[in-house]
Chain A
Amino acid sequence: MAPDGTPDLKVVGTRPIRPDGVDKVTGRAQFGADFQLPGQLVGKVLRSPHAHARIRSIDTSKAEAIPGVKAVMTAADMPEITSEEAFVGEGPADFKDMSGNTMARDKALYDGHAVAAVAATSAAAADAALAAIEVDYEVLPHVIDVEDAMVEGAPILHDDMFTSGVDPKPATPSNVAKRMVFELGDVDAAFGKADIVIERKYKTAPVHQGYIEPHACVAQYAADGQVQIYCSSQGQFMVRAYVAKLLGIDISEIRVTPLEIGGGFGGKTLVYLEPLAVVLSRKSGRPVKMAMTREEVFRGSGPTSGGTVWVKVGAKRDGTIVAGDAVLKFQAGAYAGSPVGPGCMTAFAVYDLQDVRITGYDVVTNRPKVAAYRAPGAPISNFGVESAVDELARELGMDPVELRLKNAAKKGTKAAYGPTFGDIGCVETLEAVKDHPNYNVPLEPNQGRGVAAGFWFNIGGESSATVNINEDGTAVVATGNPDIGGSRASMAMMAAEVLGIDVERVRPIVADTSSVGYCFLTGGSRVTFATGMAVVEASRSVVNELKARAAKTWDIPVDAVEWQDGKAVPAGSNAGDFEPLSLEDLAAKSGRTGGPIAATSSLNAQGAGPGFGTHLVDVEVDRETGHVKVLRYLATQDAGRAIHPSYVEGQIQGGAVQGIGWALNEEYIYDDRGRLDNPGFLDYRIPVASDLPMIDTVVVEVPNPRHPYGARGVGEVPIVPPMAAMANAIQDAIGIRLTELPMSPPKVRKAVDEQAAAEE
C-alpha cells in the first residue's frame, strides 16, 4: 500500500503503447468509409436548399429511370413514428423527431435537411438521380436567431409545439419547446445582501464538433430480414436501437459491427445515414454504402446550440459571492432538445452558493437539429458565468483565482441542480494553477491573462465486458464501446492490473452487438469509468476462477489460495507447500480442471465522480488586425486517477483547443435566406497547429471512491472553461469586455475602434 492508503499499482498510471496503435499509424485501421461489401451500391442524399419549406410533392420517377439507379426513397418509405422519448446519452430526444430529422416528411426545416435518397451502381449515376428528383417546395418564412424565434409573430416550425414548463399551458403554438427553472434558496432576497452586482448578457454562436471523419456506413438487408450494419459511431448498440425503432425492425434482426471512429465529440451519438442505407438496401436487394461529404456534415449533422446567457452575480466586499441568477436561451435547431438543461445545471456548479437560480429556454429554429458536443450546454452557460465572475473580480480588485478559491465548490456543497458533492477536486485545480509557473510570467503591453473554472457531471451507466483466457495464458477483453481516444488501452490496462500480467498479454477488442453484452454509448466521459468497472469486475471473476482451479489442482480449499503477480500461491505456510501456478500454467491445464476460463460482467455503474478543471491563458491582441494570439495555455483538471496519463493529458489538450476554436473563430454563418454560407473547413476555421502554443496540463488526482482505481471521466470538462478564460484574457490585454463569441478578428477590431472613438 502507498502511504495514502491507495493500493500499489503496476499497470494503472503507466504509459504503454496503445494496443490499436500500429493499425492507426500504418493506415490499416478501418474507419467508417474504409469498409466495403461485394456488390455494394453508392447511396446519396438529396437535401433541402431551403431553410423552411412545405414539401408539396416529390416525383422520383425520372430518377428511377436513370440506368444504374437501383433504389430511390423518401420519408414515405419509412414508418410514421409516434412521439416517444429517446435516451441519447447527453440530451433528450424524441423518436418522432429523430425520424423527421433523418428524412423530412411534410416540411423541410433547415438548409441541408434530407428529403430523399438514392442508391446506384456508381457515384455518377447517384448524382444524376439526385438531380432528377423533382421536389415541389412551398418556401415558408424562416427564423435563424434564437431570440427572433421567441418573439410573437415569428415563423412557427411546428404547429403542435406548445411551450411546456409554463403555467397555464399556452393556447397557441410556439418555437419555445420548454422552459425550466433550477433554484436554490431565495435569490431575490440574497441580492439584497450584495455590495457589488454584475449583470450582463452574453451570446455564443453554434459550433460544430468538427470531427475529421465524415459520417459513413454500409448496410445490407438480406432476404430473410436480417440486417447488417457496418459503421463508425459512438455506440453500436445505439445504432441498433435507433435503426430498429425508426424502421420498425426487431432488435434481434440487426447486427451492428463498429468500425473505427474518426472523432465524434458527441456528434456521432445518433443516426443519420444508417436508416436510409437499410431502406435503400431493402429496396435494391444490394448492400449500400453511404458517406457524407464535408459540406453535408456541416449542413446536415448536428452542431451544438448557440445561445444567449444573461447573468447576474452579487458579492460582498470581501469577495463572498452571495447570489447568482441566470437566464439561458438555447437554440435547438429544427427539433426540440437543446442541451439547455445541462447548461442550467452546470452554470454555477463550480461555486458554493446558497442562493442561486437558473432559468432555461429550449427554442427551435431553422437550423440543423443540434447534437451533443462535449459537455453539452456547459461551455455556453460557463462563458457567461465565468465572464461575469471575472468582472466581479475586477470590481472587487481581487485576484480571479483567489476569488474562485474563496467561493469554490467543495465536499458538502449542495449544487443548484440537486446533489451534494462528495470528493471533488475543484479547489485542487485552482491551487494547481496558482502553483504553476505560468501564473507569474510577466506580461507585456497588449498581453493579458485570463482564468476560468469549469464543471461537468460525468456519467456511468450500462456496460458489459467479457474476459476470455486463451490457452497460452493471454487474455482477450471484449467490450462494446467504440474506442474514440485510446479506451482500448485503458481497458487492457485495468484487466492487466487485476490479472497481474503484462498489458501486452491482454488484447482488447470492440465487439459487435451480437458478440458482447449491452453497452450504452461512448459519451458522457463514461467509458473508462463504467466500462472499465465492468472490465475490472469480469477480471476479478476470472481471478476467482483461476484461484479455484489452483485449489483443485492442489486439493486445498479455495480460500487458501491467493493471487499474486499473475500467479496462484498458497495463502501462507498452513495452506501447504506448493510451487506457484502462473496464469499460463492454469490456462494450459484448464481443460483438465473444469474447462475454458472466462467471465462476463454486466452492470449499471453508479457514482461517476464529478469533474472540475481550471484554465489559465495568456493572449496577445493585435490592435491593428484584431488577431488574438494564444501565448501560453495551462489546463488543470481532476482526473480522479489517470489510468493512462498520456491519454488523459491528450483529452485535456484536445478539449482546450476545441474551446479556443469556439472562442476565437468558429461559427455558423447564414445568408438572409437561411442558407449556410460556410459549410467547409476553409471558412469554418478550426484551430490549426500554427495557431497554438503547447498546451500545458496538470492532472490533479482526487480519487473517485466509486471506481476500483479512483478514475473519473476526463473528456468533457476541458472544453468548458476556455471561452471565458479567453474573453477574460482579452479584457486583461486591451481593457475591453467582449460578450459575444466568436471573438474573431473583425469583432475584436471593431471593439478596439469603438474604444478608441469613445476615448476621443
Chain B
Amino acid sequence: MAKHHISTTINGEPVEFLCNTEQTMLDVLRDELHLTGTKEGCATGDCGACSITVDDRLVCSCLMLGVEAEGHSIQTIEGMADGDQLHPLQQKFLEYAALQCGICTPGFLVASKALLDRNPDPTEEEARYWLAGNLCRCTGYDKIIRAVLDTAADMRGAS
C-alpha cells in the first residue's frame, strides 16, 4: 500500500513526511524525521518517555499514528530550547541534578512544560499527579518535583 503524505508543523516549522498507516508518531519522529530526543520506553503508553504535545495537548506519541499529525502543531523536546537559550525547566533540571541516566528526561520536560502552561502555580501534589504518567527509575522523583516547583516559582516571579 502506498504511503501517506502528511503535512504538519513540528517545533514551529512546516514538515512533510511519508508514513505507513500503522506507523506511530513516535516511529515517524525517530525513524523518518530523525528526531530521536523523543524516546521509546514501552510503546504502550505506560512510561511517558515519548511525550510530545499536539496542539498543546500532552500525548504519548507511541499511542498516536503518524497520519494523525496532519494539520496539527507538534512540539518535541528538540523545540524546547530557544537556540542556545535553555527553557527554564531545562536549566532547573540541570541545577537540581534532576536526571541521572537521562532517558526519561525529555518526556519529563515536555510533560512538565505542559503542566506549567496550564497551571503556573501547581502544588506538590498536583505536580506529582500530573507527572505520574512519566516513569523515572533513577531519581525517585524527588529532585524532578523540586525542579518543576522551583521553575514554576521563578517563572511566576519573572512574569
Residues 121 to 154 of chain A near chain B (Cβ within 8 Å): none
From the candidates A209, A262, A293, name the one contacting B102 in the complex (CB within 8 A). A262
Asked if A485 meets B101 with Cβ closer than 8 Å, knowing A212-B135, A689-B145, the reply is yes
- Chain B residue numbers with a CB within 8 Å of A261 are 101
Interface centre among A15, A486, A688 (most CB of B within 10 A): A688
From the candidates A26, A30, A650, A656, name the one contacting B97 in the complex (CB within 8 A). A650
User: Which stretch in A552-560, A572-580, A678-686 binds the other chain?
Assistant: A678-686
Determine whether the beta carbon of B38 is less than 8 Å from that of A25. Answer: no
Q: Is A263 an interface residue (CB 8 A)?
A: yes
How far, in Å, is B63 (CB) from chain A's closest CB?
A: 12
- Chain B residue numbers with a CB within 8 Å of A29 are 102
Q: Is B114 an interface residue (CB 8 A)?
A: no
CA A34 to CA B34, docked complex, whole Å: 9
Given contacts A33-B40, A686-B137, 20 further A-B contacts (CB under 8 A): A18-B94, A22-B86, A24-B102, A25-B90, A25-B99, A25-B105, A27-B80, A31-B36, A31-B103, A212-B41, A213-B41, A214-B40, A263-B100, A291-B40, A646-B97, A650-B100, A654-B140, A682-B46, A689-B129, A692-B141
Residue on A with the closest CB to B49?
A212
Determine whether the beta carbon of B106 is less than 8 Å from that of A263. Answer: no
- Chain B residue numbers with a CB within 8 Å of A27 are 35-38, 76-78, 80, 106
Determine whether the beta carbon of A260 is less than 8 Å from that of B101. Answer: yes
From the candidates A294, A647, A689, name the one contacting B141 in the complex (CB within 8 A). A689
Q: Is A211 an interface residue (CB 8 A)?
A: yes
- Chain B residue numbers with a CB within 8 Å of A686 are 135, 137
Q: Is A657 an interface residue (CB 8 A)?
A: yes
Determine whether the beta carbon of A263 is less than 8 Å from that of B138. Answer: yes
Give 5 closest A-B pairs by Cβ, nearest first. A27-B37, A262-B103, A657-B140, A24-B102, A646-B97
How far, in Å, is B44 (CB) from chain A's closest CB?
A: 6
Residues 264 to 284 of chain A near chain B (Cβ within 8 Å): 264-265
CA A20 to CA B95, docked complex, whole Å: 13
Determine whether the beta carbon of A294 is less than 8 Å from that of B41. Answer: yes
What range describes how many residues of A lie at the interface?
Answer: 35 or more
CA A211 to CA B104, docked complex, whole Å: 10
Determine whether the beta carbon of A692 is less than 8 Å from that of B97. Answer: no
Determine whether the beta carbon of A653 is less than 8 Å from that of B139. Answer: yes
How far, in Å, is A631 (CB) from chain B's closest CB?
A: 13
How far, in Å, is B136 (CB) from chain A's closest CB?
A: 7
- Chain A residue numbers with a CB within 8 Å of B137 are 209-212, 263, 265, 654, 658, 686
Q: Is A37 an interface residue (CB 8 A)?
A: no
How far, in Å, is A359 (CB) from chain B's closest CB?
A: 33
Residues 90 to 124 of chain B near chain A (Cβ within 8 Å): 90, 93-97, 99-106, 109
Q: Is A690 an interface residue (CB 8 A)?
A: yes
How far, in Å, is B26 (CB) from chain A's closest CB?
A: 11
Determine whether the beta carbon of B132 is less than 8 Å from that of A689. Answer: yes
From the candidates A15, A265, A689, name the one contacting B131 in the complex (CB within 8 A). A689
How far, in Å, is A651 (CB) from chain B's closest CB?
A: 8
Q: List 26 A-B contacts (CB under 8 A).
A: A18-B94, A22-B86, A25-B90, A25-B94, A27-B77, A28-B37, A211-B101, A211-B103, A212-B39, A213-B41, A213-B103, A263-B101, A291-B40, A646-B97, A647-B97, A647-B100, A650-B140, A650-B143, A653-B140, A655-B140, A658-B140, A682-B46, A688-B135, A690-B131, A692-B141, A694-B142
- Chain B residue numbers with a CB within 8 Å of A293 are 43
Residue on A with the closest CB to B93?
A25
- Chain B residue numbers with a CB within 8 Å of A690 are 125, 128-129, 131-132
From the candidates A24, A687, A689, A694, name the one contacting B105 in the complex (CB within 8 A). A24
Asked if A263 meets B103 with Cβ closer than 8 Å, knowing A22-B86, A26-B81, the reply is yes
